[in-house]
């Protein structure tokens, strides 16, 4: 933690310990100290933390299964409901992973969290709030005590410890000994060796190692755990500074919005113009189709007109009207006394039916034979006398 600026509450006053600075804190009710803190945080974002007072935080370790871990954020308050005297709705819960089967958990009052947030409101955003006991140096099999005046800060595990009054330190340490194994070593930071060691139960004095020092000197030896227990979780998690961003970028946003609206209006005007042109073109297409084919329903003028043109040109599917007329016309041309009265063409069957008028029945048969000789197949469907002439109906198509 020697590279981290730590903000603490000392006797009700905010103070901060610059990394690598003197042993004494800098009080944040001084304008110069506040400016120095802002500059330090601005240069190294994330290199600052708030030491949450240990008296107001309860630390514990919680065994969990892989299935419980998936929903621990929602289930944690109910899991610990029986272990706290307060209403869980009034408590804030934070957790971190200690190992595969264990979570470190911190509990404190929501009211306290709100008070601290208000207290730090005019400082640059501090993204980590760490319980004060967890900032002391610690290693497995060791307890660490920091004695500051009338209070004692204790760290007895990876996520265990707290702050107590000086006169209660002895009974608390004795109770911890009765609950678990005695530590291999007890490190005590203080100013009066004899008085400080006198606080320890007799069973711990042989393992005690006293060091002259205060909070700053103890913190210099602390190594931050890879997964530190940050209280800024859930509803107190750090939020994006949307208000500040909006104040900085609202002029740009207004220009962008105006440009977007202008572009949107221009695009809509182009759309209206193109839609009107499309309607005019569709009307012109239908008018052109009606001039060519006055009767019938118009569904898709382009396709219908293309189908008619394909029939007139002749395609791979049909020989076409023109081809049939050419061959039939050649046969009729050699018979001056024979004429075609009506003609109907079926493009699907690629055949046509025509009514002819001839001088006699022999003329009808002679025309049918001439059509057959041209490569087509002519079938007489009916014939009748019409005055001194003969009227017959022929069906003409490709020879099968």
* Residue 4: CATH number of its domain: 3.30.420.380
For residue 305, being part of any structural domain is answered with: no
pLDDT at 201 over 50: yes
Question: What's residue 268's pLDDT?
Answer: 94
d(CA 231, CA 151): 23
288-312 confidence digits (pLDDT tens): 877 777 777 777 777 777 777 766 6
CB neighbourhood size of 205 (10 A): 14
> Domain boundary at 209, 239, 269, which?
239
The confidence band for 45, taking pLDDT boundaries of 50, 70 and 90, is low
Question: What's residue 57's pLDDT?
Answer: 94
217-272 confidence digits (pLDDT tens): 888 777 665 457 899 998 888 776 677 778 888 889 999 999 999 999 999 999 99
320-340 confidence digits (pLDDT tens): 677 888 888 888 888 888 888
d(CA 272, CA 316): 42
pLDDT > 70 fraction of the chain, expressed in percent and rounded: 92
Say yes or no: 383 and 270 in one domain.
Answer: no
Say yes or no: 15 and 123 in one domain.
Answer: yes
Say yes or no: 233 and 112 in one domain.
Answer: yes
d(CA 161, CA 94): 16
Say yes or no: 214 and 286 in one domain.
Answer: no
**Structural domain of 175:** 137-221
> What is the domain count for the chain?
4
Say yes or no: 217 and 256 in one domain.
Answer: no
Say yes or no: 98 and 197 in one domain.
Answer: no
Sign of CA dihedral 53, 54, 57, 63: positive
d(CA 318, CA 216): 101
Choice between 34 and 188, residue whose per-residue pLDDT is larger: 188
d(CA 48, CA 39): 12
């Amino acid at each position: 933690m020697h590279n981290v600026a730590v903000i603490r509450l000392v006797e009700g006053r905010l103070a901060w310990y610059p990394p690598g600075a003197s042993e004494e804190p800098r009080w944040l009710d001084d304008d110069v100290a506040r400016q120095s803190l802002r500059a330090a945080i601005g240069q190294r974002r994330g290199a600052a933390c708030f030491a949450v007072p240990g008296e107001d935080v309860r630390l514990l370790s919680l065994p969990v299964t892989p299935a419980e871990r998936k929903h621990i954020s929602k289930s944690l308050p109910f899991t610990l409901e029986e272990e706290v005297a307060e209403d869980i709705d009034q408590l804030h819960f934070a957790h971190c992973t200690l190992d595969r089967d264990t979570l470190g958990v911190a509990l404190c009052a929501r009211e306290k969290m709100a008070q601290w947030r208000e207290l730090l409101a005019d400082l640059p955003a501090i993204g980590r709030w760490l319980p004060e006991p967890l900032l002391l140096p610690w290693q497995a099999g060791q307890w660490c005590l920091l004695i500051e005046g009338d209070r004692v800060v204790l760290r007895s595990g990876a996520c265990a410890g707290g702050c107590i009054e000086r006169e209660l330190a002895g009974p608390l340490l004795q109770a911890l000994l009765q609950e678990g194994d005695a530590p291999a070593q007890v490190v005590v930071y203080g100013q009066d060796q004899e008085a400080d060691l006198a606080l320890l139960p007799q069973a711990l004095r042989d393992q005690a190692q006293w060091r002259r020092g205060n909070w700053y000197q103890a913190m210099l030896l602390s190594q931050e755990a890879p997964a530190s227990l940050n209280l800024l979780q859930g509803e107190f998690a750090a939020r994006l500074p949307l208000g500040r961003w909006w104040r900085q970028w609202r002029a740009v946003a207004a220009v962008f919005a105006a440009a977007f609206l202008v572009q949107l209006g221009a695009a809509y005007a182009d759309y209206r113009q193109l839609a009107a042109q499309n309607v005019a073109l569709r009307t012109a297409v239908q008018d052109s189709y009606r001039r060519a084919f006055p009767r019938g329903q118009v569904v898709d003028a382009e396709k219908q007109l293309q189908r008619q043109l394909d029939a007139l040109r002749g395609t791979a599917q049909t020989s076409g009207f023109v081809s049939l007329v050419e061959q039939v016309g050649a046969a009729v041309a050699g018979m001056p006394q024979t004429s075609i009265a009506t003609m109907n063409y079926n493009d699907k069957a690629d055949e046509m039916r025509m009514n002819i008028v001839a001088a006699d029945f022999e003329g009808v048969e002679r025309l049918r034979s001439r059509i057959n000789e041209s490569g087509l197949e002519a079938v007489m469907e009916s014939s009748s006398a019409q005055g001194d002439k003969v009227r017959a109906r022929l069906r003409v198509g490709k020879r099968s």
